[in-house]
């Protein structure tokens, strides 16, 4: 999102009194506060996410402008001076730009072009304001009007009606006649209430027979606060809180007088409707506070801006209780009579929601509150607070920097977000929104920011005299929405039924596996025998001179492996991907120093996986920014890392060791994980090219080594895994963005896949993409360089690279909007742009995680289709990692939505598009600390299964089908069937242990009972013999000493001399 310069903090301090939020709630009647006590609509619930639906028939699509911002002709045809004319011509605007609206968009002269622009959009309404000083240069509406002004507005209204465009006319959009400021002090004087009523009555009389919608004034909050409180707006007075409250009071009374006048004298014949445009922000509470207190604080924040004007007009004729309690004597009061004629003086609710209020509200957030552009929630609050009124969004939109010109890409997505929020408010919340006015129609003078920012749908070059209107990309987008009357449903979004192939990889992917060198119990490495002083100090003391034989630890002794893999098995997965630690296995980077214990641990993991009938996909090199030396052995990193050709040879040695020591248990190898992310760490283009070159050669050498020496006996498949997020044009109306998105993919994927696979169109293997090389050559010339630094492969290297890939593997997480990054001197001086010259954006309507990953399921399908289309469908494709972070400890709804929707897209691409997709690995098995990507919580949190485990297991059980009634087309083998019960057993481990103990105890008691019965029977038959044996045993019995032996331990006790000593021997 673009950043806008903020108002001076010193001036805004005066506003803090308006919204200072105490810990004690004092709020007006109404149900608005309940919205913060309700669960916020989830962006991942199907009926709450981006809504593809249509607006009600007859929805009033429109656009708008204001007179001062666009008309120009500031002193022509008899126009009088306004406070904004005086303000922009004076020095009172410091530190803002010294610009004026003397010509502005020249709409007074170019009004017909404005109407043509409206026709291009296809709108049904046009909101514009009348210039009070143009109609009445001296301000007094009881005198003769300016005939030229009356004729101008009459022509405009008539032309709009000819084009079936409804005029929505604003009486006052901040341009007060300067004469009233000079004579009365402006809106501080209640005399202006009568002057405004007279002005309104004139307009109703002259234009009212052709106007059905009237707006008395636009956003009086900004007039009062910025015009008379901080002085940021005209007339530039810095009267502080006292002046602000008085001005607001008079504005409310002036509006009410105008409405009452229309209601009494004009409504019976004209049948029009009158309202006032009120602006607001939206605020969300601090998460850590109690709900009731949160709601009260947020309610006060909205009441201090919107409620300040809305409650008197739409409520009971008086101010919110929170304002009265806070400002007491400073706040003017309405008399009982005034309350009666102020209340209910609006025929519909007209709302302004844009940067002016939201930007100003940033200084109003207290107690951890967050200002958010959530129009849907604000509309729902209005309904709860003031009743089910008809609502017109009279101003909706954002701004762009002037440098953006016609390609206002970011504004497209904010428009999309705002309008879709309105649609959701209508469909889900029942708010009666009947119209939306996109602000503004044309670029104009943006108040204290002059021409530095733009809000128009049509671009105007203010350096040109003709002020030609040129549609921006937002105009194209808005036209599309109007034509469709909303957001049409995408046919590809419907779910499909079907199954993945029987040998599909249902996997879990992890990063580098943590090696735990020591088994759980010390009994295998400790030969000593200990005496245990049970009743004394409880210590164990080794017995001198006594030692037992030990045995080496077995794989089953590593409880960490056992527990980890039991979690894995409980998911129902068939494959597990994990990475080796290169720097741990070969600390010096060469086979002269091999960590055999680390290799032994990895072998144990692989063996235990085989016992569970699970296949392994092993990653040899998993670089990480968090790992020391990017995961390289320290000597290799110190010698230049991937900039050094020696690292290529060292990797081949390492790969040979992996094949030799672990190859028996591995069917799938990944040589290097995400080489396209490794090169990002290098500081310049030349280094990135060299690193990518060596990474490709290292992979190819490892692949060829396996082909030559190990493929016969192991028959394993070898690949490398690329990070492969989908790239889609940020601006769908610009060809340059489509080209940039394709270029982004070529630099991200084609750079590594083209040399290995060539292309489907016959591009030779062993070469970088032609498009990439041509672009880099042109780019180098543009920077004044002789040539690109992209290296070439030798003939031997091309031969080695050609076909060195057994399957295509990539890690996919999200989708990115891509646009071209223009080269400017400033950007080059600040930071060298990426070599593909692209920047990435995000669509605010996409659901996103706490780490900012967007959930865009269709991106996976598009990525798979792009890879298959470019490289053919011969090689299988495996998604080797895909997942989302979710902060929920158990009910990870975001991850469930991610898995369900992404696997549905994978099912479509396999069944409908014919892509040879053979696997999907969910990232990752377990959290390391706090909840993030794991399907299970961390060991510190008892390794609890999250809800997504059950979902993933269910999808696997149905082979990916979205229909739970279907059966798995493939037969589970016996071990897989057993593993489906592992999760239940793991969850109920304490109960099973208790039950087992209970069963054993019962069996022992039963055996004891049988033994007693048999003993008694034998005593009756052989009593004498029994007595003789007993006497003999008593004579030979050692005092207080007993021995007990189990399978592994012999324990004895000697209680002679009142000392109890236990002796336990391990076997």
The predicted-structure confidence for 301-314, as pLDDT tens digits, reads as follows 999 999 999 999 99
pLDDT band at residue 517 using 50, 70 and 90 as cut-offs: confident
What's the whole-number average pLDDT of the chain?
Answer: 88
Q: What are phi and psi of 982, to 5 degrees?
A: -65, -40
3 state DSSP class of 797: helix
Asked if residue 698 lies in contact with residue 648, where contact means CB atoms within 8 angstroms, the answer is: yes
pLDDT band at residue 1001 using 50, 70 and 90 as cut-offs: confident
Q: Lowest-confidence range among 300-314, 865-879, 963-977?
A: 963-977
Relative to beta strand 505-512, strand 166-172 is unpaired
Share of the chain above pLDDT 90, in %: 72
Cα Rg of the chain (Å, integer)? 38
Asked if residue 442 lies in contact with residue 114, where contact means CB atoms within 8 angstroms, the answer is: yes
pLDDT band at residue 987 using 50, 70 and 90 as cut-offs: low
Report whether pLDDT(682) > 80: yes
d(CA 953, CA 939): 21
Relative to beta strand 575-579, strand 540-547 is unpaired
pLDDT band at residue 145 using 50, 70 and 90 as cut-offs: very high
Q: Lowest-confidence range among 17-26, 105-114, 362-371, 543-552?
A: 17-26
d(CA 698, CA 654): 11
Asked if residue 199 lies in contact with residue 141, where contact means CB atoms within 8 angstroms, the answer is: yes
Q: Lowest-confidence range among 362-376, 698-712, 820-834, 947-961?
A: 820-834
Report whether pLDDT(702) > 60: yes
Q: pLDDT by residue (tens digit) across 604-656? A: 999 999 999 999 999 999 998 777 889 999 999 999 999 999 999 999 999 99
Taking the chain, what is the end-to-end CA distance rounded to the nearest angstrom?
A: 70
Of residues 760 and 342, more confidence is placed in 342
Tokens of 395: 């101003």
pLDDT band at residue 83 using 50, 70 and 90 as cut-offs: very high
| Exposed / middle / buried, residue 1002 (Cβ in 10 Å: 0-12, 13-18, 19+) | exposed
Of residues 378 and 546, more confidence is placed in 378
Relative to beta strand 668-673, strand 726-729 is unpaired
**What's the mean pLDDT in 590-615?**
95
Q: pLDDT by residue (tens digit) across 414-451? A: 999 999 999 999 999 999 999 999 999 999 999 999 99
**What's the mean pLDDT in 142-171?**
98
pLDDT band at residue 728 using 50, 70 and 90 as cut-offs: very high
- Specify the pLDDT at position 18: 32
Kindly report the number of other CB atoms within 10 A of residue 1037's CB atom: 10
Q: Lowest-confidence range among 5-19, 324-338, 822-836?
A: 5-19
pLDDT band at residue 294 using 50, 70 and 90 as cut-offs: confident
Q: pLDDT by residue (tens digit) across 922-962? A: 999 999 888 999 999 998 878 999 999 999 999 999 998 75
pLDDT band at residue 673 using 50, 70 and 90 as cut-offs: very high
- Specify the pLDDT at position 1042: 37
**What's the mean pLDDT in 546-570?**
84
CA 275 to the chain's CA centroid: 38
664 CB-side CA count, 13 A: 9
- Specify the pLDDT at position 1043: 37
- CA distances for 202 relative to 142, 175, 273, 1062, angstroms: 8, 17, 16, 109
| Exposed / middle / buried, residue 130 (Cβ in 10 Å: 0-12, 13-18, 19+) | buried
Element (H, E) at 1008: helix 989-1021
- Specify the pLDDT at position 368: 78
Report whether pLDDT(169) > 70: yes
Report whether pLDDT(5) > 50: no
Asked if residue 357 lies in contact with residue 305, where contact means CB atoms within 8 angstroms, the answer is: yes
Kindly report the number of other CB atoms within 10 A of residue 448's CB atom: 21
Peptide bond before residue 814 is cis, with ω within 30 degrees of 0: no
Report whether pLDDT(333) > 80: yes
DSSP class of 303: I
pLDDT band at residue 22 using 50, 70 and 90 as cut-offs: very low
Report whether pLDDT(965) > 70: no
3 state DSSP class of 371: strand
- Specify the pLDDT at position 832: 67
d(CA 565, CA 610): 11
Relative to beta strand 877-882, strand 917-923 is parallel
């Amino acid at each position: 999102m673009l950043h806008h310069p903020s108002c001076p903090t010193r001036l805004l301090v005066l506003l803090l009194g308006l919204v200072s939020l105490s810990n004690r709630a004092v709020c007006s009647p109404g149900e608005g506060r309940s919205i913060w006590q309700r669960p916020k609509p989830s962006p991942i619930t199907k009926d709450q996410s981006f809504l593809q639906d249509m607006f009600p028939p007859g929805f009033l699509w429109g656009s708008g402008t204001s007179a001062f911002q666009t008309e120009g002709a500031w002193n022509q045809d008899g126009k009088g001076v306004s406070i904004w004319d005086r303000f922009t011509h004076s020095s009172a605007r410091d530190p803002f730009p010294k610009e004026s609206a003397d010509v502005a968009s020249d709409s007074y002269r170019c009004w017909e072009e404005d109407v043509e622009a409206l026709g291009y959009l296809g709108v049904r309404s046009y909101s514009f304001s009348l210039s009070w000083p143009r109609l009445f240069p001296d301000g007094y509406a009881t005198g003769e009007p300016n005939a030229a002004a009356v004729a101008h507005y009459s022509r405009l209204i008539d032309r709009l009606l000819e084009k079936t465009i409804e005029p929505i006319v604003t009486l006052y959009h901040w341009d007060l006649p300067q004469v009233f400021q000079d004579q009365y002090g402006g809106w501080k004087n209640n005399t202006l209430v009568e002057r405004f009523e007279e002005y309104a009555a004139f307009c109703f009389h002259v234009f009212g027979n052709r106007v059905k919608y009237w707006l008395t004034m636009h956003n009086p909050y900004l007039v009062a606060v910025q015009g008379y409180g901080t002085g940021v707006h005209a007339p530039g007075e810095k009267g502080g809180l006292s002046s602000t409250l008085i001005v607001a009071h008079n504005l409310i009374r002036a509006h009410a007088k105008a409405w009452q006048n229309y209601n009494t004298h004009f409504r019976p014949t004209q049948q029009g409707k009158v309202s006032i445009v009120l602006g607001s922000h939206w605020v969300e509470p601090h998460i850590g506070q109690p709900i009731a207190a949160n709601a009260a604080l947020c309610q006060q924040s909205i009441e201090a801006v919107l409620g300040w004007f809305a409650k008197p007009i739409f409520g009971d004729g008086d101010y919110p209780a929170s304002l009265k309690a806070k400002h007491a004597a400073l706040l003017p009061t309405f008399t009982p009579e005034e309350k009666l004629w102020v209340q209910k003086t609006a025929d519909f609710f007209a709302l302004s929601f844009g940067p002016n209020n939201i930007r100003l509200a940033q200084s109003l957030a207290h107690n951890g509150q967050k200002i958010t552009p959530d129009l849907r929630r604000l509309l729902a609050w209005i309904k709860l607070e003031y009743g089910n009124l008809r609502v017109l969004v009279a101003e909706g939109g954002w701004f762009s920097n002037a440098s953006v010109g016609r390609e206002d890409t970011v504004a497209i997505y904010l428009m999309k977000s705002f309008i879709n929020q309105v649609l959701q408010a209508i469909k889900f919340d029942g708010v009666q929104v009947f119209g939306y006015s996109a602000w503004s129609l044309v670029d104009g003078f943006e108040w204290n920011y002059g021409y530095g920012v733009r809000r128009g749908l049509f671009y105007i070059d203010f350096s040109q005299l003709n002020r030609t209107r040129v549609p921006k990309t937002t105009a194209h987008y808005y036209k599309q929405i109007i034509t469709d009357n909303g957001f049409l449903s995408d046919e590809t979004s419907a779910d499909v039924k079907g199954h993945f192939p029987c040998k599909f990889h249902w996997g879990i992917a992890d990063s580098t596996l943590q090696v735990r060198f020591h088994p759980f119990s010390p009994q295998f490495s400790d030969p000593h025998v200990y005496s245990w002083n049970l009743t004394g100090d409880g210590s164990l003391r080794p017995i001198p001179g006594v030692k037992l034989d030990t045995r080496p630890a077995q794989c089953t002794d590593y409880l960490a492996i056992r527990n980890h893999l039991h979690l894995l098995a409980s998911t129902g997965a068939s494959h597990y991907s994990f990475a080796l630690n290169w720097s741990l296995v070969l600390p010096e980077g060469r086979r002269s120093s091999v960590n055999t214990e680390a290799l032994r641990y990895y072998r144990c993991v692989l063996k235990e996986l085989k016992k569970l009938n699970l296949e392994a996909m092993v990653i040899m090199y998993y670089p990480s920014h968090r790992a020391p030396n990017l995961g390289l052995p320290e000597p290799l990193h110190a010698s230049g890392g991937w900039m050094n050709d020696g690292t290529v040879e060292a990797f081949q040695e390492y790969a040979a060791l992996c094949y030799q020591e672990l190859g028996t248990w591995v069917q799938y190898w990944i040589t290097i994980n995400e080489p396209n992310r490794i090169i990002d760490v290098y500081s310049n283009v030349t280094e990135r090219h060299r690193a990518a070159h060596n990474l490709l050669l290292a992979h190819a050498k490892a692949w060829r080594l396996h082909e030559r020496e190990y493929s016969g006996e192991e028959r394993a498949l070898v690949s490398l895994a690329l990070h492969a997020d989908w790239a889609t044009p940020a601006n769908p109306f610009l060809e340059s963005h489509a080209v940039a998105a394709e270029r982004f993919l070529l630099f991200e994927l084609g750079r590594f896949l083209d040399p290995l696979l060539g292309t489907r169109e016959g591009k030779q293997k062993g070469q970088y993409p032609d498009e990439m090389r041509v672009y880099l050559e042109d780019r180098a010339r543009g920077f004044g360089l002789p040539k690109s630094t992209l290296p070439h492969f030798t003939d031997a290297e091309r031969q080695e690279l050609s076909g060195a890939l057994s399957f295509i593997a990539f890690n996919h997480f999200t989708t990115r909007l891509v646009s071209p990054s223009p080269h400017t001197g400033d950007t080059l001086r600040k930071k060298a742009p990426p070599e593909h010259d692209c920047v990435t954006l995000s669509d605010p309507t996409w659901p996103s995680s706490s780490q900012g990953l967007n959930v865009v399921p269709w991106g996976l399908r598009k990525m798979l289709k792009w890879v298959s289309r470019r490289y053919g469908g011969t090689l299988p494709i495996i998604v080797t990692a895909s997942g989302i972070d979710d902060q929920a400890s158990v009910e990870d709804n975001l991850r469930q939505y991610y898995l369900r929707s992404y696997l549905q897209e994978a099912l479509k691409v396999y069944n409908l598009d014919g892509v040879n997709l053979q696997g999907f690995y969910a990232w990752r098995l377990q959290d390391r600390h706090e909840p993030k990507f794991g399907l299970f919580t961390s060991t510190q949190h008892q390794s609890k299964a999250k809800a997504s485990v059950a979902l993933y297991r269910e999808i696997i059980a149905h082979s990916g089908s979205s229909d739970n009634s279907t059966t798995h087309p493939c037969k589970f083998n016996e071990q897989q069937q057993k593993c489906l019960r592992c999760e239940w057993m793991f969850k109920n481990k304490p109960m099973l242990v208790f039950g087992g103990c209970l069963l054993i105890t019962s069996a022992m008691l039963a055996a004891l009972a049988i033994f007693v019965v048999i003993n008694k029977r034998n005593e009756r038959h052989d009593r004498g013999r029994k007595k003789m044996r007993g006497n003999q045993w008593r004579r030979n019995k050692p005092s207080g000493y007993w021995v007990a032996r189990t399978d592994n331990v012999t324990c004895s006790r000697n209680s002679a001399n009142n000392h109890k000593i236990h002796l336990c021997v391990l076997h």
